Structure 1
Amino acid sequence: MAIRKLLLPLTGTAAGEAALATALTIARAWNAHVTALHVRVDSRDVAPLAGEGLSGAMIEEMMSATEKESNERAHAVRAMFERFVAKHNVVVQEAHPGADYASASFAAVTGREEDIVAQQARLADLTVVPHPDSGDEASSSDALHAVLFDSGRPVLISPQIEQPRIGTRVGIAWNGTAESASSVQAALPWMQRAEAVAILSAEGYQRRGPGAPELMSYLALHGVHAHPISFRSIGGSVGAGLLAAATDFGCDLMSMGAYSHSRLRQLILGGVTRHVLEHAKLPVMMNR
């Protein structure tokens, strides 16, 4: 299956332009369309605070300030988008069936970001999200988790630095789970076009389910010749070992299942998903 439509939620963070670059690189590789989506905060969302002992005048003032900030952020994001597409000579139009070139469009809507992004992602082949800022808590990214848990579609976390190539050397983080199987399905179109494919596995990462040899046989049926790479934890961290193996392979796209353990457990104790979210310097595609 070809990739024809990408969704790119833009919040106006410093990582937004790098995510635009990532989305454009993918769009040009697949002649796909990028829908850049900015979700504006609804000032009425502050109204429930009236039950916290705030006066009507204070609520009105908060709503006015929220509206002003929302307008300013939306203007900044739109300006960033327009500068980017002009600089990179991107065709700006609505998605066009059968187009043999990359294109992009911009949309701004008002509402709850996690709800709208998840809904829009259901009809996108891939959602690209900006990398969490270095000072942010990666596991609190609303857009990222909305796509993972409520869209049924893959999400790609953009690196903070623009990459010259994406998807020529594909690494599959395999541990035999349903989540990793879903990631294989999402990455199959990439693997069929890649120069090299590696299956990244480790004894401490494997769960109940098929191992790397079984995955190799399955991929061969789809015309993909993958070779296994076994890695070890680094400093007790499976995630660190996985990223090191991907780097050694020269991976420019890694696909993996997300949150095989519960999100709460990973938040408290850490985990492979959380480590990759916080430390990956390459494009990472995740699936649930």
Structure 2
Amino acid sequence: MSVRKILVPLAGRPEDDEVLATALSVAADFEAQLVGLFARPDPSEALPYLGDGVSGQVIEDLMQAAREGADQASGRVRAALEKAAAAKGIPVAAKGAEPQLPSARFLDVTGRRDEVVAAHSRLSDLIVFGEGTTGSAGGSALEAAMMSAGRPVLIAPKKSWSPVGGTVAIGWDESAEAARAVTAAIPFLERAKSVTILCIGGKELDPGPGSTLADYLALHGVIADVHLVDAQTRAHGEVLLEQAEKSKTDLLVMGGYSHSRLREFIIGGATQHIRSHATIPVLMAH
């Protein structure tokens, strides 16, 4: 297993700088190519919402303003990518140039952001997201990458992070989602200095599942400690993040949306809590 292509959806906001710094750190460690993706809105898609009484000139003015706004945002993304790559000593590849690793590349694609991100995630090894405008990391684009495209995502915290994965904690609940996150994280786990398996539940905790995972990781040359944590009445997401921070972890690995997205949205869940409160990098898969 290897990480060779890292996709980073960007919007031309100040927060892009921190996300890029974290993602470029991963790209440098794995000698991968980072692709900075700007999803350019198609102004014609807004036409059905303007109503019948809007004149052609007004429509053209609105579309021109939208195009200019997208051009400016695209320019900010390209400039931020080039600046961050230069600071890391990573070359920015020109379009059509011979592949070079590690490297960075800029991509400007017109379309709905979720659809563009999902389409370009399918042939990416890792998709990195920062905090969204709603306060939940990645917004709906993260769900598109993780659930529609079936790819692992890395949530970058508000501050830049380097290295990512020196000390790893795994949130383990035996779910299919957690298992996919573990297998996606193998490149990180094989390089980690220490790995801790966190089994969070009630008082009657069974060490068996954690030991089974530890046995699997040992086949990959990864030695992991198993920690059983009684969550008592607290939310599992809160306890998981607290335990990971307490052990000075710089990567948390966990399954995403073991329950339905609707259930998590209405009554909360570990995924929603982590997306809104992560202060360390989190690798998540569904």
User: 2:152 maps to what in 1?
Assistant: 154
Gaps of 5+ in 2: none
Q: Residue type matched to 1:49 in 2?
A: Y
User: 1:230 maps to what in 2?
Assistant: 228
Alpha-carbon distance in structure 2 between the residues aligned to 1:246 and 1:205: 20
User: 2:6 maps to what in 1?
Assistant: 6
Would you say the 8 A contact 1:169–1:253 is kept in 2?
yes
| Alignment partner of 1:179 is 2:163 | no
Gaps of 5+ in 1: none
User: 1:166 maps to what in 2?
Assistant: 164
| Alignment partner of 1:122 is 2:119 | no
Once structures 1 and 2 are overlaid, which stretch shifts more, 227-236 or 6-15? 227-236
Alpha-carbon distance in structure 2 between the residues aligned to 1:285 and 1:271: 16
Once structures 1 and 2 are overlaid, which stretch shifts more, 87-96 or 104-113? 87-96
RMSD (Å) for aligned C-alpha atoms: 2.4
User: 1:132 maps to what in 2?
Assistant: 132
State the Cα deviation string for residues 24-48 of structure 1 (Å, max 9, x = none).
1001111111111111111111012
Q: Please give the TM-score of this superposition, normalised by the length of structure 2.
A: 0.91
Once structures 1 and 2 are overlaid, which stretch shifts more, 83-92 or 118-127? 83-92
Would you say the 8 A contact 1:179–1:258 is kept in 2?
yes
Q: Please give the TM-score of this superposition, normalised by the length of structure 1.
A: 0.90
State the Cα deviation string for residues 160-195 of structure 1 (Å, max 9, x = none).
101232111111111111100100100112111110
Would you say the 8 A contact 1:200–1:231 is kept in 2?
yes
Would you say the 8 A contact 1:132–1:278 is kept in 2?
no
Q: Residue type matched to 2:91 in 1?
A: V
* Residue in structure 2 matching 1:141, options 119, 139, 145: 139
| Alignment partner of 1:112 is 2:108 | no
Consecutive aligned runs of 4 or more in structure 1 exceeding 4 Å deviation:
94-97
Alpha-carbon distance in structure 1 between the residues aligned to 2:203 and 2:22: 29
Q: Identity, % of aligned pairs? A: 38
**SS, match of residue 138 in structure 1:** coil
Q: Residue type matched to 1:104 in 2?
A: A
Alpha-carbon distance in structure 2 between the residues aligned to 1:124 and 1:18: 21
Once structures 1 and 2 are overlaid, which stretch shifts more, 62-71 or 151-160? 62-71
Shift of 1:109: 1.4
State the Cα deviation string for residues 188-244 of structure 1 (Å, max 9, x = none).
1211111001111112599xxx72121112212222111112224386221111011
After superposition, the Cα gap between the structure-2 partners of 1:75 and 1:174, relative to the gap in structure 1 and judged at 3 Å, is same
**SS, match of residue 107 in structure 1:** strand
